Amino acid sequence: MNKDANPLDYILNCCEQGLIPSTFDILNAKDELIKLRSKTDRFEILGWARINQNGDPYDLRLYHNPHVDPNTVMPIYYDKNSYKLWKNDN
């Protein structure tokens, strides 16, 4: 495993094996985590869909039902930035 290319995996691997990562490796993993969080922060849940055995979505809903098996529910996301652009055009 390349610790520079996959810093989060490397840190987790160190934790599993009881190794102590260097300060650079920790900072590199923190930077990678910040990048990942900034990418996911632009998305928001629009609704939920049930999925069948083949993984096909059906039964779209705006509200999450906590009594349904969570293994059969999939969130549907939308990109906030794209939505704002679309809304300003209309």
**Residue in the structure block whose two tokens are 């998305």:** 43
Please tell me the total count of domains within the chain. 2
60 with 45: CB under 8 angstroms?
A: no
29 with 7: CB under 8 angstroms?
A: yes
Q: Which comes out higher in pLDDT, residue 81 or 47?
A: 47
Is residue 2 in a domain?
no
**In residues, how long is the chain?**
90
pTM (global) more than 0.85: no
Residues 48 and 35 both lie in one domain = no
Residues 80 and 49 both lie in one domain = yes
pLDDT of residue 90: 66
| Domain extent at residue 18 | 7-40
> CB burial class (10 A; 0-12, 13-18, 19+) of residue 73?
middle
Sequence letter at residue 65: N
Residues 84 and 52 both lie in one domain = yes
Reported as a single tens digit per residue, the pLDDT across 19-62 is 999 999 999 999 999 998 888 888 888 899 999 999 899 999 99
**Joined tokens for residue 32:** 């990678």
Is residue 56 in a domain?
yes
